[in-house]
A and B are shown apart, each in its own frame.
Chain A
């Protein structure tokens, strides 16, 4: 069974997220400040731009190679199931981030815990979809 357009696009998103935000977190997390520094905010903006550009360029290339980009009811169902799983992780992250905001000074810990869980939620969503596609669901 070959890899569909959707699966290729999901793999691209997953790699882009891991590489971009992985590099960002490696660069920023050793900092021991209470507040997010302006340089960190700029780096975050650059990472978001990098992710967007990678996704657009990658999807264009995949579309040119694959030529079959249509989706159907099964794709939509898998997308919904993935979004549900990602939603659970994000809700958990918001809860922990709020708890962190109550007990830690500044916005650094709160912001990065929230960001970390958002990335984890995205990876859960994508990973769930890839699992369902591979299982043949």
Chain B
């Protein structure tokens, strides 16, 4: 249901397999959602809330990044360039807008 153009994929199917072929219903019961929602998440058709994402990671005892991956959209070159500019270093003193309210 995301509109940003980026894509969130996940490794839930693989993680379930490594947990003794845990069923979707078992996972759903443990994270407090319906089996249909787990199925939709697994099929990359629904991006869960941060809370549910953390609960999934906790069930498998792995980090969030191990479960979910976010890939940028193809035409996000400008966004990446902007992010690289920000990461390049701090803005020199004097060019920084003043936050003081006198």
Contact = CB atoms under 8 A, between A and B. Distances in A.
B37 A72 contact: yes
A70 B37 CA distance: 12
Interface residues of A, number: 14
Interface string B23-52: 000000000111011011001011011001
A128 to B, nearest CB: 13
Contact of A137 (B32, B33, B46, B49): B46
Given A74-B46, A74-B48, A137-B45, 8 more contacts: A1-B36, A68-B34, A70-B34, A72-B32, A73-B37, A74-B34, A135-B45, A136-B43
B40 A137 contact: yes
Interface of A: 1, 4, 68, 70-75, 77, 133, 135-137
User: What's the dominant secondary structure at chain B's contact region?
Assistant: loop
A137 B39 CA distance: 10
Among A71, A73, A75, A137, chain B packs the most CB atoms within 10 A around the CB of A73
B87 interface: no
Nearest to B24: A1
Nearest to B1: A137
A29 to B, nearest CB: 39
A40 B24 CA distance: 51
19 contacts: A1-B39, A4-B36, A71-B34, A72-B32, A72-B33, A73-B37, A73-B52, A74-B33, A74-B36, A74-B37, A74-B40, A74-B46, A74-B48, A77-B1, A136-B40, A136-B43, A136-B45, A137-B1, A137-B46
